[in-house]
């Protein structure tokens, strides 16, 4: 029996046993699910299933478990690491969560809400606002990513400095396990010490241990205004000194602290309409920082005074505080335009690294020197969430400086050099994007044998048939 007819029989069994679950098989229907956001991977699939309820998904998983069908859960398909794309075999089942997208409950008095995995992040943010609350996960892809995917990958974003990662924002989850059992722990409790932290284990496991179907999230009171500055600094050391000054002066009011090199600003201004550099001063580095408050207070004054103090101390060369919401949006649009500008500018190599904040200046100096010495045609565009020690340490080949194939050929050597420096500084080779398919070998290289063994032991215990997102995270 050939593979195609085996697939046909499997599909028939799925249809029979999971009646009511939409199963897409036509090429035009499945195509959007088979390639990743960055177009690094192009897979095939047995079908794309779109369950609408937990019971449907549980039945589907039970069937896949019994038949040994590999399952690839997919949210908004915005992974940077190919984490939601099936392999090329055509034997895996993609499960799209988009139809499970209800806001189940909001409890404003408890500052919590329960939402289904397929809710767009934007939908979650709006529902919270509708109840007079604030949900602080903020990502550029809010309009297309889904909260289930955010949790499966423990997403980070622009507010981690103050509010933490997606895992930190979650009180409870519901998930369907590899054999169809339902883990239901949607408790909206701040404190609950009853056994192992299964919630934290499932969050960030990238669909390799189960499929998150709903979550109870922490909310905050609605925000009262913010103050946002665009600041020119001489170097990364000055930026980190400014960060310490801001933490000391503003405490938890500091929402965001983003570092941007001049190259990133130039790229954004060149490739993305309606963007412009906020400061006349040409500097090697800029900081975009924002204070926010839940109460009425003079944030502009606080930010202005702190920046004046930083200027006197020689840390700041020039600064502008947004005078209007439109100006604030303009600052952030510039920041958020960088990934798209990089895409348009030409081929590149991306890294999503973190080091201790105190090690950022030395790491950037050493890694930049390596790039200057070994990738002469490349332009370093290292930007990101410096307040968390996280930089997207990317290199672009501008204006036809190299073909995509040339860049791809150089990528392994570059990645190795940058990641070795990250490791030397006690850092991480995946700060917020996860491992997916892209970084399986990197995880093996930079993780101790003991840790990998523990992960494999847990994987075997919870997914003994290895059907959950095969080939991702721990590899095969």
Binders of a copy of itself among residues 344 to 363 (CB under 8 A) are 354-359
The single residue listed with the structure tokens 């090690």 is 359
CB atoms within 10 A of CB 380: 19
Q: Cβ of residue 220: shortest distance to a copy of itself, in angstroms?
A: 8
Binders of a copy of itself among residues 383 to 442 (CB under 8 A) are 385, 388-390, 426-435
**HSE on the CB side for 366, CA within 13 Å?**
15
The residue within the footprint of a copy of itself, chosen from 54, 203, 334, 349 (CB under 8 A), is 203
Asked if 223 contacts 177 with a C-beta cutoff of 8 angstroms, the reply is no
Stretch of residues binding a copy of itself (CB under 8 A), selected from 154-162, 227-235, 325-333, 337-345:
154-162
DSSP codes joined into one string, 405-435: HHHHHHHHHHHHHHHHHHHHTT-BSBSSS--
Told to check if 301 binds a copy of itself by CB under 8 A, we report no
Between the CA of residue 373 and those of 64, 262, 345, 383, what are the distances in Å? 51, 20, 22, 20
Buried b (16+ CB within 10 A) or exposed e, 381-409: bbbbbbbbbbbbbbbbbbeebbeeeebee
The residue within the footprint of a copy of itself, chosen from 54, 97, 177, 263 (CB under 8 A), is 177
Q: Cβ of residue 431: shortest distance to a copy of itself, in angstroms?
A: 4
DSSP codes joined into one string, 63-97: HHHHHT--EEEESSS--SS-TT---SSS-PEEEE-
The residue within the footprint of a copy of itself, chosen from 119, 462, 467, 468 (CB under 8 A), is 462
Stretch of residues binding a copy of itself (CB under 8 A), selected from 17-25, 318-326, 339-347, 444-452:
444-452
Q: Give 135 or 271: the residue with its C-beta nearer to a copy of itself.
A: 135
Q: Cβ of residue 294: shortest distance to a copy of itself, in angstroms?
A: 3
- Show the 3-state SS of 149-196: HHHHCCCCCCCHHHHCCHHHHEEEEEEECCCCCEEEECCCCCCCCCCC
Q: Cβ of residue 344: shortest distance to a copy of itself, in angstroms?
A: 27
Q: Give 378 or 471: the residue with its C-beta nearer to a copy of itself.
A: 471
The residue within the footprint of a copy of itself, chosen from 183, 235, 318, 420 (CB under 8 A), is 183
Q: Cβ of residue 469: shortest distance to a copy of itself, in angstroms?
A: 13
Q: Give 114 or 275: the residue with its C-beta nearer to a copy of itself.
A: 114
Phi, psi of 323 (to 5 degrees): -95, -5
Binders of a copy of itself among residues 3 to 62 (CB under 8 A) are none
Contacts of 142 (CB under 8 A, 6+ apart): 120, 121, 122, 125
3-state secondary structure of 133: strand
The residue within the footprint of a copy of itself, chosen from 160, 337, 395, 421 (CB under 8 A), is 160
Number of residues in contact with a copy of itself under rule CB under 8 A: 87
Told to check if 195 binds a copy of itself by CB under 8 A, we report yes
Stretch of residues binding a copy of itself (CB under 8 A), selected from 18-26, 122-130, 148-156, 275-283:
148-156
The residue within the footprint of a copy of itself, chosen from 188, 226, 317, 342 (CB under 8 A), is 188
The residue within the footprint of a copy of itself, chosen from 38, 104, 126, 181 (CB under 8 A), is 181
DSSP codes joined into one string, 15-41: HHHTTTSEEE-SHHHHHHHHB-TTS--
Q: Give 329 or 460: the residue with its C-beta nearer to a copy of itself.
A: 460
Q: Per-residue contact track with a copy of itself, 228 to 247, x per CB under 8 A?
A: ------------x---x--x
Q: Give 5 or 448: the residue with its C-beta nearer to a copy of itself.
A: 448
Q: Give 106 or 267: the residue with its C-beta nearer to a copy of itself.
A: 106
Quick one: CA torsion of 14, 15, 20, 24, rounded to 10 degrees?
90
Q: Give 11 or 182: the residue with its C-beta nearer to a copy of itself.
A: 182
Asked if 56 contacts 17 with a C-beta cutoff of 8 angstroms, the reply is no
Q: Cβ of residue 319: shortest distance to a copy of itself, in angstroms?
A: 20
What is the layout of strands, in order, in the sheet containing 47-50? 22-24, 47-50, 93-96, 71-74
How many angstroms separate the CA atoms of 380 and 370, rounded? Answer: 11
Phi, psi of 351 (to 5 degrees): -135, 145
Q: Cβ of residue 293: shortest distance to a copy of itself, in angstroms?
A: 6
Q: Give 115 or 375: the residue with its C-beta nearer to a copy of itself.
A: 115
Q: Give 48 or 58: the residue with its C-beta nearer to a copy of itself.
A: 58
The single residue listed with the structure tokens 């895992």 is 167
If you compute the radius of gyration of the chain from its CA atoms, what whole number of angstroms results? 23
CA nearest neighbour of 436 among 382, 472, 384, 476 = 472
Q: Give 77 or 153: the residue with its C-beta nearer to a copy of itself.
A: 153
3-state secondary structure of 384: strand
3-state secondary structure of 369: helix
Q: Give 252 or 406: the residue with its C-beta nearer to a copy of itself.
A: 252
Q: Give 130 or 356: the residue with its C-beta nearer to a copy of itself.
A: 356
The residue within the footprint of a copy of itself, chosen from 127, 131, 455, 466 (CB under 8 A), is 455
Binders of a copy of itself among residues 94 to 123 (CB under 8 A) are 107, 109-112
């Amino acid at each position: 029996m050939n593979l195609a007819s085996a697939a046909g029989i499997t599909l028939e069994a799925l249809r029979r046993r999971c009646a009511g679950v939409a199963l897409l098989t036509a090429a035009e229907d499945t195509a959007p699910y088979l390639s990743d956001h960055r177009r690094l991977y192009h897979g095939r699939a047995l079908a794309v299933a779109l369950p609408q309820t937990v019971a449907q998904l549980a039945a589907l998983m039970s069937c896949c478990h019994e038949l040994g069908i590999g399952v690839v859960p997919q949210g908004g398909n915005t992974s940077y690491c190919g984490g939601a794309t099936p392999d090329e075999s055509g034997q895996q089942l993609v499960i799209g969560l988009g139809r499970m997208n209800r806001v189940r409950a909001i409890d404003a008095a408890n500052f919590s809400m329960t939402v289904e995995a397929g809710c767009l992040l934007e939908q979650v943010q709006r529902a919270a606002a509708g109840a007079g609350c604030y949900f602080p996960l903020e990502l550029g892809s809010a309009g297309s990513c889904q909260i289930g995917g955010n949790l499966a990958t423990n997403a980070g974003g622009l507010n981690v400095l103050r509010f933490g990662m997606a895992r930190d924002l979650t009180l409870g989850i519901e998930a369907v396990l590899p054999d169809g059992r339902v883990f239901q722990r949607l408790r909206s409790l701040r404190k609950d010490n009853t056994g192992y932290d299964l919630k934290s284990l499932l969050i960030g496991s990238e669909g390799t241990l189960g499929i998150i179907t709903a979550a109870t999230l922490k909310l905050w009171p609605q925000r009262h205004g913010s103050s946002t500055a665009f600041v020119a600094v001489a170097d990364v050391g000055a930026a980190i000194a400014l960060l310490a000054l801001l933490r000391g002066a503003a405490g938890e009011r500091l929402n965001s602290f983003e570092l941007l090199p001049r190259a990133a600003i130039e790229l954004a201004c060149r490739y993305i309409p309606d963007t412009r550099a906020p400061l006349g001063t040409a500097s090697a580095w800029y900081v975009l920082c924002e204070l926010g408050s839940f109460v009425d207070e003079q944030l502009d004054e606080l930010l202005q005074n702190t920046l004046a103090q930083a200027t006197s101390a020689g840390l700041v060369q020039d600064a502008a505080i947004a005078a209007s919401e439109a100006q604030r949006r303009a600052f952030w649009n510039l920041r958020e335009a960088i990934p798209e500008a990089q895409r348009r500018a030409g081929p590149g190599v991306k890294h999503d690294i973190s080091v201790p904040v105190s090690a950022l200046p030395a790491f950037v100096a050493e890694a930049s020197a390596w790039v200057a010495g070994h990738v002469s045609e490349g332009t370093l565009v290292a930007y990101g969430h410096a307040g968390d020690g996280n930089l997207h340490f990317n290199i672009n080949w501008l204006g036809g400086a190299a073909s995509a194939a040339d860049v791809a050929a150089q990528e392994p050597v570059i990645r190795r050099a940058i990641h070795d420096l990250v490791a030397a500084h006690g850092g991480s080779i995946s700060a917020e994007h996860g491992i997916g398919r892209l970084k399986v070998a990197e995880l093996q290289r930079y993780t101790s044998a003991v840790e990998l063994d523990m992960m494999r032991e847990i994987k075997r215990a919870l997914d003994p048939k290895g059907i959950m997102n095969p080939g991702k995270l721990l590899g095969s």
